[in-house]
Amino acid sequence: MQRVVVTRPEPEATRWVQALRERGWTADAWPLLRIADPHTGPERDRLAHWRKAWTSQDALMFVSAAAVQRFFADTLSPDNGSTRFWAPGPGTARALSQALWPLGIGEDRIDMPPREASQFDSEHLWPVIAGQVQPGRRLLVVRGASEGGADGSLPGQGREWLIERCRAAGVEVEACVAYRRELIEPGPADFSRLRDFTGRGQVWLISSSEALQALQGHWPLGARAAALVTHPRIAEAARLLGFAEVVQARPALADVMRALESWNGSP
pLDDT at 63: 94
What residue spans of the chain are helical by DSSP H? 12-22, 41-53, 65-71, 90-100, 122-129, 160-168, 191-197, 232-241, 253-264
Q: Classify residue 174 as left (phi > 0), alpha (psi -120 to 50) or beta.
A: beta
CB 193 within 8 A of CB 199: no
In the prediction, which pLDDT does 252 show? 86
| Helix/strand/coil for 63 | coil
End-to-end CA distance of the chain: 8
Count other Cβ atoms within 10 Å, centred on residue 265. Answer: 8
Domain annotation for the chain: domains and CATH numbers: 3-32+184-264 (3.40.50.10090), 36-181 (3.40.50.10090)
Per-residue confidence (pLDDT) for residue 154, from 0 to 100: 60
Q: Residues 242-251: pLDDT tens digits?
A: 999 999 998 8
- Tell me how far apart the alpha carbons of residues 131 and 257 are, in angstroms, rounded to a whole number: 34
Q: Is the bond preceding 11 in cis, omega lying within 30 degrees of 0?
A: yes
Query: Residue 49, Cα to own-chain centre: how many angstroms?
Result: 24
Phi and psi (nearest 5°) for 219?
-70, 120
Q: pLDDT tens per residue, the chain (267 residues)?
A: 679 999 999 999 999 999 999 999 999 999 999 999 998 999 999 999 999 999 999 999 999 999 999 999 987 889 999 999 999 999 999 999 999 999 999 999 999 999 888 888 889 999 999 999 999 999 999 999 987 555 445 655 568 889 999 999 999 999 999 999 999 988 888 888 898 899 999 999 999 999 999 999 899 878 899 999 998 989 999 999 999 999 999 888 889 999 998 887 666
Least Cα distance to 237 among 191, 195, 204, 200 occurs for 204
**What is d(CA 91, CA 230) in angstroms, rounded to the nearest whole number?**
13
The secondary structure of residue 9, as a DSSP letter, is P
What pTM was computed for the model?
Answer: 0.87
